[in-house]
């Protein structure tokens, strides 16, 4: 039976009862599918439901085949190694004993002499040149992600389920992951905001507050379709607004005509030119006509309002997200950060940063780049005070906030420490 993941009439709500999505019907086969949508719309939740980690409120999930799951962050113990990701610690230990002549006959019978070479080849495909015995805790977040993905590919599952696989990766790591998925010939369900990665997909599924929609093709094909849909939604909104204006104008003209006609009828009745019974009949007829016109105008207005609201919802969903950063208000010459001859690290005699010195002044926007493991996160830890330098000084000369990879700024238990007092010196 071909590998597949089928979601039927799927609904799920948050623990506080807020519906996240409902009546989702999707089927994933042996193709690479990118799952896209705004943050908070339920992409990671949908992956967890597909993986069996969450149970739907209603509906069903049918999985045929084996799954390999990569989460946004790889949590590790202090003594865990890359071999543990591959489930190969015992098998590699047998090889070590066999090489030293200490293995038993039973161990020699099950020894996999090609295992270590195959693990190293898988790591190399992920752009990672480390030994299987390397401690995971000694690797950067991006290196752990690549190692975990290499272990998944090594298992050769029917489906890969990947949640933001290129997060925290340097350029080489991203290219390695994109290359891996570009050559993947089984099923893959990938949540990502990485446009280059999404260009390798065979299909895109967009998750919105209105539901899930599947688009054939890669990211470029999806964006072309979305541009057409946005243009159609904007036309529909303009048409609805035009109809609303026409209804209001027509209603006003009808009211004015009736007022003129009523005025003329009253004058005629006052002159005695019309029998009272006829005047009364005409009055009732005018009132009935006026009421019917009002009801018709209200129905047209309500329909136009509903159409406008629907078009606005579609435009809100289809419109690309944009972020505008406000001015910091800092004067151009104001010193913000001074780092002088800093050396720091986590293990004795193995510094991650050596003799680093630089200064930031004024409202500069500075990007810190470099390969995974080069010390970018270590530098931020020094600036925030989470890590003390072995040598040198770190001076933070203005208040600041730190939004780290775990978004701990949003955690009320650590929120106060994100705002050191100005003129603080660390080190």
Instruction: Give the pLDDT of residue 17.
Output: 84
pLDDT confidence tier of residue 394, bands split at 50, 70 and 90: very high
Query: What does the pLDDT read at residue 157?
Result: 92
The band of 289, judged by pLDDT with boundaries at 50, 70 and 90, is low
Question: For residues 81 and 296, which has the higher predicted lDDT (pLDDT)?
Answer: 81
Which range among 20-34, 142-156, 275-289 shows the weakest confidence by mean pLDDT? Answer: 275-289
From 177, 192, 217, the end of a domain falls on 217
Q: Enter the tokens of residue 368.
A: 């810190």
- Count how many domains the chain has: 3
Q: Is the pLDDT of residue 287 over 60?
A: no
Mean pLDDT value of segment 298-318: 71
266: in domain: yes
**Please, what is the average pLDDT of the chain?**
81
Range in 100-104, 138-142, 407-411 the model is least confident about: 407-411
Q: CATH number, domain at 56?
A: 3.40.50.300
* 340 and 195, same domain (yes or no): no
State whether 291 and 232 are in the same domain: yes
Pair 142, 241 in one domain: no
| Residue 65, domain member (yes or no) | yes
- The beta-strand segments (E) located in 95-174 are 159-163
Predicted pLDDT of residue 423: 44
Q: Are residues 63 and 188 in the same domain?
A: yes
Residues 24, 249: Cα–Cα separation, whole Å: 42
| Residue 83 burial (CB count, 10 A) | 22
Q: Residues 76, 166: one domain? A: yes
Residue 297 lies in a domain: yes
Please tell me whether residues 200 and 84 are part of one structural domain: yes
186 and 296 within one domain: no
H helix or E strand, kind and range, residue 254: helix 219-271
Q: Which pLDDT band, with edges at 50, 70 and 90, does 73 fall under?
A: low
Whether 113 is covered by a domain: the verdict is no
Evaluate whether residue 106 is within a structural domain.
no
Per-residue confidence at 228, pLDDT binned at 50, 70, 90?
A: confident
CB-neighbour burial class of residue 372 (10 A; exposed 0-12, middle 13-18, buried 19+): buried
Does residue 103 belong to any structural domain of this protein?
no
Q: Is the dihedral of CA 274, 280, 283, 289 positive or negative?
A: negative
Q: Which of 160, 185, 217 is the last residue of a domain?
A: 217
Last residue of a domain, one of 173, 196, 217: 217
Is position 265 within any domain?
Answer: yes
Name the residue among 114, 94, 110, 113 with its Cα closest to residue 102.
Answer: 94
Pick the closest to residue 150 from 168, 171, 130, 170 (CA basis).
Answer: 130
Residue-wise pLDDT tens digits, 165-215 = 888 788 888 888 888 888 888 999 999 989 999 999 999 999 987 789 999
The answer to whether residue 357 is domain-embedded is yes
Per-residue pLDDT, 421: 43
Q: Are residues 243 and 194 in the same domain?
A: no
Range of the domain at 263: 226-318
Residues 182 and 267 in one domain: no
Which helix H or strand E contains 147, and what residues bound it?
A: helix 141-155
Domain shared by 133 and 261, yes or no? no
Sheet strand arrangement including 58-64:
19-28, 4-13, 58-64
pLDDT at 109: 87
Identify whether residues 401 and 343 lie together within a single domain: yes
Contacts of 208 (CB under 8 A, 6+ apart): 37, 38, 41, 317
> In this predicted model, what pLDDT tens digit does every residue of 147-166 receive, in sequence order?
888 999 899 999 999 998 88
Same domain, 50 and 174: yes
- Mean pLDDT, rounded, for 386-394: 91
Measured on CA atoms in the order 327, 333, 335, 341, is the torsion positive or negative?
Answer: positive
84 vs 231, which has greater pLDDT?
A: 84
């Amino acid at each position: 039976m071909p590998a597949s993941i089928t979601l039927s009439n799927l609904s799920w709500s948050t623990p506080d009862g807020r519906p996240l999505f409902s009546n989702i019907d999707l089927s994933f086969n042996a193709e690479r599918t990118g799952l896209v949508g705004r943050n908070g719309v339920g992409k990671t939740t949908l992956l967890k439901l597909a993986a069996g980690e969450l149970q739907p409120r209603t509906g069903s999930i049918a999985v045929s085949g084996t799954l390999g799951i990569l989460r946004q962050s790889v949590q590790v113990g202090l003594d865990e190694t890359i071999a543990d990701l591959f489930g190969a610690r015992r098998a590699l230990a047998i090889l070590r004993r066999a090489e030293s002549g200490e293995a038993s006959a039973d161990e020699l019978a099950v020894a996999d002499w090609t295992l270590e070479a195959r693990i190293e080849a898988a790591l190399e495909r992920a752009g990672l040149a480390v030994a299987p015995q390397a401690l995971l805790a000694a690797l950067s977040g991006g290196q752990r992600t690549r190692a975990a993905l290499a272990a998944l590919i090594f298992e050769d599952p029917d489906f890969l389920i990947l949640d933001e696989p290129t997060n925290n990766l340097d350029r080489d790591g991203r290219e390695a992951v994109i290359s891996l998925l570009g050559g993947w010939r089984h099923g893959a369900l990938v949540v990502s905001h990485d446009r280059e990665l999404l260009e390798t997909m065979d299909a895109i599924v967009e998750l919105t507050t209105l539901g899930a929609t599947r688009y054939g093709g890669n990211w470029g094909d999806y964006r072309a379709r979305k541009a057409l849909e946005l243009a159609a939604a904007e036309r529909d909104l303009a048409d609805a607004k035009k109809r609303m204006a026409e209804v209001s104008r027509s209603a006003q003209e009808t009211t004015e005509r009736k007022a003129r006609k009523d005025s003329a009828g009253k004058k005629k009745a006052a002159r005695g030119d019309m029998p009272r019974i006829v005047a009364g009949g005409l009055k009732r007829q005018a009132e009935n006509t006026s009421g019917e016109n009002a009801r018709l105008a209200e129905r047209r207005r309500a329909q136009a309002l509903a159409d406008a609201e629907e078009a606005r919802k579609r435009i809100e969903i289809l419109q690309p997200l944009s972020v505008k950063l406000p001015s910091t208000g800092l004067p151009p010459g104001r010193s913000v950060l001074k780092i002088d001859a800093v050396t720091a690290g986590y293990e004795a005699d193995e510094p991650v940063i050596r003799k680093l010195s630089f200064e930031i002044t004024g409202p500069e926007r500075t990007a810190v780049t470099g390969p995974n493991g080069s010390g970018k996160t270590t530098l931020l830890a020094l600036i925030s005070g989470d890590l003390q330098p072995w040598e040198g000084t770190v001076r933070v000369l203005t208040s600041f906030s730190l939004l780290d990879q775990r978004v701990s700024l949003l955690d009320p238990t650590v929120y106060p420490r994100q705002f050191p007092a100005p003129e603080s010196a660390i080190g």
